Structure 1
Amino acid sequence: MSRRAVDFSLYLITDRRALPPGRRLEDVVRAACAGGVGAVQLREKDLSPRELYPLACRLREVTAAGGAHLLINDRVDLALAVEADGVHLGGQSLPTALARRLLGPEKLIGVSTHHPDEIHAASRDGADFVTFGPVYATPSKAAYGPPQGLDALRAAGRNAPLPVFALGGITAEQVPELRAAGARGIALIRAILGADDARQAARSFREAYRLHP
């Protein structure tokens, strides 16, 4: 199956609760894009569609200006409404194959996975990439159980038919071992959103990724 090329290595997932006091999400995302983030997932599950729509419109402008892709968590309708670059699907989302039919071949689809079998299923159903984790302990993914660790990431990345992005509690110092374990990219939340300088934080991850093939 042909799929869209995944041309980014840093994937920022939004969570307004991780922002430093007084910061606006769109301003922090703008700084992160300037630092090298290549794709942003709008993931604010506590907001209604009416609240999400204007925020998605603002982030569409920010990411377009910053040269980054915008993906909307779960909501295919909202992704189409704001002309986002795609969607990210979780366990309670529409089936990947249905999302692909609705979105067509040009949009990006990411899928959250926690097991190698889920990666192969996502590929079969039309996904372009997956996140896998949590690799390390992190408050944002505590509901998904204990961290899976590098061995699980290595098993997930082995013979994976599409790019695997490591997720969960990642620091720039851990990038070399993640890449050695097969991660094609890095998905981040608090490490960038919660930083004093989101641009510099993104840049440090970008440089770590470049220096450790």
Structure 2
Amino acid sequence: MKLNIFLMGLAALAVASCEDGPGIVQPSVEPQLPEFTDADVQVALSQGLNSSAINLQSAMASDAPVAIVDVTSVENLPEGAQLDFAIQISDDASFADYREVSGPVSAGNVAEASAVSFNSALKAIAGNVTVPTQVYYRIPGYVTISKGKYRLGSADKYYGEGQVTVTPVDNPVISSDPSAELASGAIDIQQMTDDGIEIIPLIDVTSISELPEGYKLSYKYVLSGNQDMSDAKAGD
């Protein structure tokens, strides 16, 4: 039976600080921290959110984080506690599916998110978009103390919400050819490296535009014993 092999090249973004939407455990709500409540924290939306436009491409080019909020006032913060904010984005107002990007508060009292993580979150909810895309956002707040990380206020307390148009990071341009083994129609799955790791040559990358920091290049393959791919199996 002829084996059909299909390959897809993907430029994947690192997502270490980007949490999935429903199904991912969120920090628990602590109704009343000692002498400290959500009312003790006042913030102002960042310039980007105020103008309803965030340009991730510009942020990436200048190696800058994305400002979420400015912390304008804090009272009664417990000793040793750390404020954190995040931005949740979704392609629909119900937030049935969303991604949360962490925004730790810097020394300058600005909650800032990684442009790489923000871009990854955008493409997770909106697909591999390459043009400015409007999404819904909302901003939860957290406080970290020795006992753990707690949500500021109730589960529906947000320090800002609305819509924002996000310009994604440009996709890299990649050219590749099937490996010599794949082109010959015969693959030896018993090839081993010096470390005893099995390798299967599938793709030769012939050229690639410069990858922004935080990008990594990976491929997926799809195998099937049938031309209609009815029993296809995917792997990395």
Would you say same fold, with TM above 0.5? no
Shorter-normalised TM range: under 0.3
Larger Rg: 2
Q: Which has the higher helix share?
A: 1
Q: Which has the higher strand share?
A: 2
